[in-house]
């Protein structure tokens, strides 16, 4: 009888130990085993991925791209600090800081590096020629040396181009200003992407019978001077391209626009609430989301070399009726007929 009791007691003790051990394990974060992306039929290795995200500057674009990337990871049931770590760097618009960040990133091993903006991918492509990278918020990846075409590119890099729809914006401008002849933009000579945008806008303007007047700026102080110079040259509307410098200084250009009553049109969604009459803006949240999906494919084993660059799939057409009234611009019904995806903003 005593031996039976001792056996029962021993069994209880062993069971308690196993239970406590299991409780400790339950409290530990666990991987989601072999996460499956049903839509794209990809299966991820059962490991914690080490990811980096490098920004060049704080802007609405970079914020939206990061939000889109994080949403994609969330939608794929990947949890931060459980299935992946994501270290975010930001150079705050300073090239020397970006160079230091690139050095720090190069000293570590990553499963994948995400970048936003042209200067960032340019720098990291040189510093980390073998690291797998996905870019977003890059206008023209070819003009900055990332490839010969969207299909023939550096083997370790793929990504999403957010090149503006120049003709789409000019189409709106011409409907709102049928007799317009001269439009203007401030550009940044030091940014390859900005020069490319200015040239592409010039070609699009010429094809529609418009003259583009451009004014250079290399610092935030020069942006204001360049905007005033455009007004002095008799432009009839601002068609402001988006780059890192003018994006962070857009308020200065809009202030000149409002003060001179020269209508402002842009390529950034947020400017619709800052004074623009209308914008034709790539969706940067969508761009981050799509870059995230490319990243998932790479983490599942696909080579960046076989993933073509591509344009972001979504563009936002917005018009602010209050801003139109401020500039005494009449909005005809034809605008909504010709651009059915156009959304109206009252304030």
Backbone angles phi, psi at 306, to 5 degrees: -100, 5
pLDDT (0 to 100) of residue 39: 55
Contact status, residue 93 vs residue 56, Cβ threshold 8 Å: yes
Whether residue 160 is predicted with pLDDT greater than 50 in this model: the reply is yes
- Do the domains at 36-162+284-311 and 166-282+315-345 have one common CATH topology? yes
Contact status, residue 342 vs residue 320, Cβ threshold 8 Å: no
Q: Which CATH class is domain 36-162+284-311?
A: alpha beta
Give the least confident one: 20-24, 91-95, 214-218, 296-300: 20-24
User: Which pTM value belongs to this model?
Assistant: 0.77
Q: How far is it, in rounded angstroms, from Cα 242 to Cα 252?
A: 14
Taking alpha carbons only, the member of 216, 159, 223 closest to residue 189 is 216
Contact status, residue 84 vs residue 33, Cβ threshold 8 Å: no
179-212: per-residue pLDDT in tens?
999 999 999 999 888 999 999 999 999 999 999 9
Residue ranges per structural domain of the chain:
36-162+284-311, 166-282+315-345
Pairing of strands 278-282, 315-320: antiparallel
Q: How far is it, in rounded angstroms, from Cα 120 to Cα 98?
A: 7
- Burial classification of residue 151, based on how many CB atoms lie within 10 Å of its CB (0-12 exposed, 13-18 middle, 19 or more buried): exposed
Q: What residue spans of the chain are helical by DSSP H?
A: 2-27, 60-75, 95-106, 118-127, 166-176, 192-207, 220-232, 244-248, 250-260, 284-299, 321-326, 333-338
239-291: per-residue pLDDT in tens?
999 888 898 899 999 999 999 999 999 998 889 999 999 999 999 999 999 99
Whether residue 79 is predicted with pLDDT greater than 90 in this model: the reply is yes
pLDDT (0 to 100) of residue 33: 40
**DSSP secondary-structure letter at 261?**
T
Homologous superfamily of domain range 166-282+315-345: Response regulator (3.40.50.2300)
**DSSP secondary-structure letter at 56?**
S
Whether residue 22 is predicted with pLDDT greater than 70 in this model: the reply is no
Pairing of strands 133-138, 112-116: parallel
């Amino acid at each position: 009888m005593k031996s039976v009791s001792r056996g029962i007691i021993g069994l209880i003790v062993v069971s308690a130990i196993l239970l406590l051990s299991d409780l400790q394990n339950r409290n530990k974060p666990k991987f989601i085993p072999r996460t499956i992306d049903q839509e794209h039929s990809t299966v991820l290795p059962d490991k914690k991925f080490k990811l980096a995200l490098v920004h060049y500057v704080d802007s609405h674009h970079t914020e939206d791209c990061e939000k889109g990337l994080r949403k994609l990871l969330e939608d794929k049931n990947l949890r931060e600090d459980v299935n992946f770590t994501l270290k975010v760097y930001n150079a705050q618009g300073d090239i020397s800081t970006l160079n230091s960040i690139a050095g720090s990133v190069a000293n570590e091993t990553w499963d994948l590096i995400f970048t936003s903006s042209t200067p960032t991918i340019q720098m990291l492509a040189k510093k980390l020629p073998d690291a797998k990278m996905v870019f977003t918020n890059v206008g023209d990846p070819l003009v900055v040396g990332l490839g010969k075409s969207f299909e023939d590119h550096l083997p370790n890099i793929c990504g999403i181009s957010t090149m503006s729809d120049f003709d789409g914006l000019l189409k709106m401008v011409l409907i709102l200003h049928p007799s317009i002849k001269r439009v203007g933009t401030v550009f940044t000579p030091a940014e390859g992407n900005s020069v490319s945008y200015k040239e592409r806008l010039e070609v699009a303007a010429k094809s529609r019978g418009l003259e583009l007047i451009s004014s250079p700026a290399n610092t935030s102080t020069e942006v204001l001077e360049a905007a005033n110079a455009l007004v002095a040259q008799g432009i009839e509307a601002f068609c402001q391209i988006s780059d890192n410098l003018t994006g962070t200084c857009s308020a200065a250009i809009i202030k000149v626009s409002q003060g001179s009553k020269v209508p402002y049109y842009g390529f950034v969604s947020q400017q619709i609430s800052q004074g623009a009459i209308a914008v034709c803006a790539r969706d940067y949240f969508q761009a981050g989301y799509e870059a995230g999906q490319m990243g998932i494919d790479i983490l599942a084993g696909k080579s960046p070399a076989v993933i073509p660059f591509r344009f972001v799939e979504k563009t936002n057409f917005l018009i602010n009726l209050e801003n139109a009234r401020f500039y005494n611009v009449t909005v005809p019904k034809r605008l909504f007929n010709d651009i059915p995806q156009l959304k109206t903003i009252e304030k």
